[in-house]
């Protein structure tokens, strides 16, 4: 029984170690992309985003409670809680 437990521990440890290395690579790519793209800061209102970035290509939501809305621009997706930016991301480009 101890051999099976040891083998299981080694197998799981190896699987998690391999997954984290792949995640690190993706994070570096995401950080490099984020630095080059201007995105709205958290705390801005919808009106401020419209003034600074113009009309989005698409508006989605609101969904859930609190209501979450997101606006899609060509180089950013902006997430709002009620009327305020809570996060903005650079969409993945193939």
If you count them, how many residues does the chain have?
94
d(CA 63, CA 40): 21
Q: For 42-91, how does the pLDDT look when each residue is reduced to its tens digit (9 = 90+)? A: 999 999 999 999 999 999 999 999 999 999 998 899 999 999 999 999 98
Among 5, 2, 90, 1, which Cα is nearest to 40's?
A: 90
Secondary structure (DSSP) of 24-74: HHHHHHHHHHHHHS--PPTT-BHHHHHHHH-S-SEEEEEETTTTEEEEE-S
CB of 77 closer than 8 Å to CB of 70 = yes
pLDDT band at 37 (very low <50, low <70, confident <90, very high): confident
Residue ranges per structural domain of the chain? 1-36, 40-94
What's the alpha-carbon Rg for the chain, to the nearest Å? Answer: 20
């Amino acid at each position: 029984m101890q051999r099976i437990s040891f083998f299981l521990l080694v197998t799981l440890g190896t699987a998690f170690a391999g997954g984290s290395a792949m995640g690190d690579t993706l994070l570096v790519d995401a950080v490099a992309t984020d630095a080059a793209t201007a995105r709205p800061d958290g705390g801005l209102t919808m009106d401020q985003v419209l003034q600074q970035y113009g009309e989005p290509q698409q508006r989605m939501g609101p969904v859930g409670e609190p209501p979450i809305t997101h606006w899609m621009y060509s180089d950013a997706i902006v997430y709002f809680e009620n009327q305020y930016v809570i996060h903005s991301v650079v969409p993945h480009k193939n």
